[in-house]
Amino acid sequence: MSTITLRRLVTLSFALCYVLIGLPLWYKLTTIYRAPLPAEYIESLHTKIHEDIHLTIPVYVQSNLYQFPDVHDAIQAQADELLKSVNEEQRRVQWSLQVLPYVEGKIDAKDDYVVTLVLDESMGLTIPQFGKETIVFFNDESVLDNDLPFFAAQALIEHTFKFEWENFSNAPQKSAKTDSTFKNMAVSYDPNIHISISLLTGDSSPVAWDIDTALKEYLTPIRELLSTFVNFTVDTGIEYHNDLNLNSLVNKSSISWNDLSHTLDLSELSSVNHYQEQNSINLAIVFPSAETSSLEFANATEDNTNWKSFLVPQWGVVVINKDPLPVNAYVTHDYLASVISTFANDIFKLLGLSQSEDDLTSPLIKIDSFKRKIIIDNLEKSITTLSSLVNMTNHLQQMSIPKEVLEDVNNALKIRLQIVDLLNNPELGGDETWNEALRLSNKLVKVCERAFFHKEMVQQTFFPQEHKVAVYLPLLGPITVVTFTAFFKSLKEVLTKSKKCATKDDGKDDTTKNEELKAE
Amino acid sequence: MGDVADSATHTNNWAVLVSTSRFWFNYRHMANVLSMYRTVKRLGIPDSQIILMLSDDVACNPRNLFPGSVFNNADRALDLYGESVEVDYRGYEVTVENFIRLLTDRWDEDHPKSKRLMTDENSNVFIYLTGHGGEDFLKFQDAEEIASHDIADAFAQMYAKKRYNELFFMIDTCQANTMFSKFYSPNVIAVGSSELDESSYSHHSDVEIGVAVVDRFTYYTLGFMEEIDKNSTLTLQDLFDSYTFEKVHSHVGVRTDLYSRNLSEVLITDFFGNVRNLVPDDDSVTNNHENDKELKSESTLLKIAKLKHNEALIQNTTTNPQVTKSKRINTDDAIYQGAVETYNVTLVKALGIFILVAFLFLLKTMSCSKTDTLKTTDISLYDEHVAIY
């Protein structure tokens, strides 16, 4: 083989390597990986949110005197009618009651919703504070007129399940006024919330307090009562030389809330970074310094107590004391008991559990209802997160979508279906079901957040498309120039040579023709 | 305060303060940011809600004639570095990537809480940037730059995840107004120090420090802010009206088309302060003070909680001393699994005995070999001795 041919072969192989191996490899290795998210499914879930959910809450009917064999069916029909009466577009989630007859021994009035029908002189209802029972009073007339089922259904939906009625069916709220002030009161829900309790004094003289027993007596029960949906961690501490700037309010007997809001400096207290939980509820018990002396405004009411507590939206409670602490003070159990029990009450407000004061429902029913609300909120939140994820990745085409994100998204959708199954199954519906659904929904939120906030989905971690060529040009430029100039050169040579050959052949043909002609 | 206060809907405030340039001659950028830090802190934003990104440490620079101090005025009345300053990102940590990560909250799982912007849909966020920039870019550390559309996209991601209620973007750099030209997310209000093809200028130099100590735009912003107190009723409109070409020497730009509220209704403290509104707690204890001491404080809620608590206690003592509360809901899987993990006791015992025996054996052989070698050497010595002899 001549050197020329060898050279040409080498050039050709270089060019072929470049085009057939190099280019695809380069393209493959520099392409941003974008996992295919189930965008359409997520979008359809987002546009018709909660469409596949239908909560069913079992309720058991018992009657203490008369035997009504079919009263539960009648109440069921009435309850369904009442729930249907709400405008469908307003409704947030579909929910219904499942009214069943009471079976002795099988049903526990403490854990299940029980309606007790009691014969009385007039119609009425009451909901005992301890338990989940609804007592409906009826008289003989109402039985004759067949009013009892409607009345029982109304009692259940508008009173026992008022929370669902207002939140899920979006029924017109009667307590619209209190709502606005309490709307921003609650800290956002999280399964883990930290409670930070601190005693603040403006002086430096040592203070001791009997916080341990007070907390055990007043906070632990509350903590346990709420433990099915929120896990509290608690820390306590005493801070000296910090009276939240109260000293600037000396000698003011009457001040407005605005003045107080602007004076109190809570910034030093927000030790959010010292614990792991995302959210916290704070309690600050403040004593002014001896120099400040009595704060006249602190007992504005004619009450005997020397302190006043204030709710700070989404932050906690500030308890302001009128008088400074004496030297070497010991804060007694009695004092702390009243403060902590007020605080325990405020925790319900700060969690968003109680909104208005004149509530008829029992706290236990309220907690259950609140759990259901959290489940629905969590579902909504996670679908919104997934939908934002899809929109964001669609909008930013240069952003990579790692495999973990896809796994999390798929996992989240699976968990969601599990929850929906739990909620929709009319045969379930006990405490355990709600707790399980709540646990799953918390997990769901976590998984969705993890998918959205994946570390690799930051545009700065890779080159955008237009930068790619610029970055690789110093390397690829010279190689391209050398390879292809050589390739085109030899191609040209080959072409010209073959042309020459062709013309030569043509000449040859002509001469032979001439010779033949001559021979003739 | 009337209507002005009512229009605000946020419940917490955050501030992100960034100086992006390095080196001693950029002293003024550090001073700008530290002055802003002091202002927002004075107006009540706690340190945990301020993210301070300081690209260089001028306070400890060997050229600093006043070590450990940073001043923003030639009169040196106020040491910006004197009181407690919590710098969250320092020196080479101030990068474009970290800034974008901060805004979009995309970090490792173990990234400390204090270095994260943990805002929610109720947060008003104030973002202040200063450094050297040009048309649609801002330099970081003299090495890389952030483009205006990078910030715009980061804001869009924040909006998608409801990470802010309202956002106030302030930037002091050359051609600053180009930096917010690409924004497209709602509820963002932006102000910049200079328009396209226009420089931002420093205000004055300190002869002893030897470099300019503050920028004009920031200087007049701070001047305005000094008049503000927590209960001030001045609005953003007042702030923007205070900027004039005579003062700033460049055309200050304000972008409001993404913002729905009227600027003359937006308090300065909506972004620069952190005012907590108090609600007097009227119910519960104070209402039923006529009862005796024990009953006085007990609400129905507490009674129920106590009853339940006692029930649980009784149940626990009779059946099972372990605390079983909340296991279903709030268990941390990792901890739970860790607790279950146990050792195979028999295996451990057998291994222990084996090691013991092996050790004893080793000891024995070692002592044996020791005496053996001694013996042999002795003999050999003797032999040698004999041979020589």
pLDDT tens track for B146-172:
989 889 999 999 998 899 999 999 999
Strand, coil or helix: what is B84? coil
The answer for residues whose C-beta is within 8 angstroms of residue B12's C-beta and 6 or more apart is A314, B49, B119, B120, B122, B123, B124, B274
Cβ separation A225–B304 shorter than 8 A = yes
Residue B276, phi then psi, degrees to nearest 5: -95, 120
Topology (CATH level 3) of domain B3-272? Rossmann fold (3.40.50)
Contact A243, A288 (CB under 8 A): yes
Per-window interface: B 329-368 vs A, CB < 8 A: 329-330
Q: Select from A130, A311, A346 the Cβ nearest to the Cβ of B304.
A: A130
Chain B residue nearest residue A381, CA to CA = B161
Of the candidates B12, B106, B297, which has its C-beta nearest A341's C-beta?
A: B297
Whether A256 contacts chain B with CB within 8 A: no
Torsion of CA A287, A290, A292, A296, to 10 degrees: 60
DSSP category for residue A157: I
Measured in angstroms, the CA of B286 and the nearest CA of chain A are apart by: 7
Q: Quick check: A156 pLDDT over 90? A: no
A 396-455 → B contacts, CB under 8 A: 396, 432, 435-436, 438-439, 442, 452-455
Q: Does B284 have pLDDT greater than 90?
A: no
Q: What is the pLDDT of residue B289?
A: 38
Assess contact for B24 and B4: CB atoms under 8 A.
no
pLDDT in tens, A449-465: 999 999 888 876 666 66
The catalytic position among B60, B132, B149, B203 is B132
> Which tokens go with A152?
């029982």
Asked if A435 and B308 come within 8 Å (Cβ–Cβ), the reply is no
**Placement of tokens 């804060």 in the chain:** A331
B264 contact A CB<8A: no
Give DSSP secondary structure letters for B271-297.
HH--PPPPEE--SGGGTTTTS-HHHHT
Q: What is the mean pLDDT of residues A420-440?
A: 82
Q: Please check the confidence at residue B106 and state whether its pLDDT lies above 50.
A: yes
Q: Are B206 and B23 in contact (CB under 8 A)?
A: no
Could you tell me the residue ranges of all domains in chain B? 3-272, 286-340
pLDDT at A182: 57
Q: Which of A296-305, A382-391, A504-513, B374-383 has the lowest mean pLDDT?
A: B374-383
Q: What's the gap in Å between the CA of B201 and the closest CA on chain A?
A: 30
Roughly how many angstroms between the first and final C-alpha of chain A, as a whole number? Answer: 44
Record the pTM: 0.79
Of these residues, B10, B111, B149, B174, which one is catalytic? B174
- A470: which 2 tokens? 């610029």
B60 is a catalytic site residue: no
Closest CA to A163 of A93, A116, A72: A93
Contacts of A261 in chain B (CB under 8 A): 275-278
Q: Is the pLDDT of residue B99 over 50?
A: yes
The C-alpha atoms of residue B49 and residue B26 are separated, in whole angstroms, by 26
Rounded distance between C-alpha atoms, residue B40 and residue B11, angstroms = 16
User: Which two tokens mark B126?
Assistant: 């104030």
Identity at B376, one-letter amino acid code = T
- H or E segment to which residue B279 belongs: strand B279-280
pLDDT digits (tens, 9 = 90+) for A128-155: 777 788 888 888 888 778 888 888 888 8
The pLDDT value given to residue A126: 82
Q: For residue B267, how many other CB atoms are within 10 A of its CB? A: 22
Q: Count the neighbouring beta carbons within 10 Å of the beta carbon of residue A418.
A: 16
The answer to whether A511 faces chain B, any CB pair under 8 Å, is no
Partner residue opposite A363 with nearest CB, options B112, B230, B304 = B304
Q: Is B304 part of the contact surface with chain A (CB cutoff 8 Å)?
A: yes
For the stretch A239-273, pLDDT in tens is: 888 888 777 777 666 667 677 777 777 777 766 66
User: What's the pLDDT score for residue B331?
Assistant: 37
Measure B291 CA to nearest chain A CA, in Å.
12
Interface of B with A in 130-169 (CB under 8 A): 150, 153, 156-157, 160-161
Element (H, E) at B191: strand B188-192
pLDDT reading at B332 higher than 50? no
Say which residues have a Cβ less than 8 Å from residue A226's Cβ, sequence separation at least 6: A232, A347, A351, A367
DSSP three-state, residue A19 = helix
Q: How many residue contacts between A and B have a Cβ separation below 8 Å?
A: 201
The upper half-sphere exposure of residue A195, i.e. CA atoms within 13 Å in the direction of its Cβ, equals 21
- Kindly report the nearest CA distance between residue B19 and chain A, in angstroms: 19
- For A83-95, the pLDDT digits (tens) are 888 777 777 888 8
Q: Closest Cα of chain A to B137: distance in Å?
A: 15
Q: What is the pLDDT of residue B334?
A: 36
Closest residue in chain A to residue B289, using alpha carbons only = A303
- Residue B289 appears among annotated catalytic residues: no
pLDDT at residue B3, rounded to an integer: 39
- Name the more confident of A243 and B176: B176
Q: Is the pLDDT of residue B126 over 90?
A: yes
Average pLDDT, chain B: 80
Q: Are B58 and B30 in contact (CB under 8 A)?
A: yes
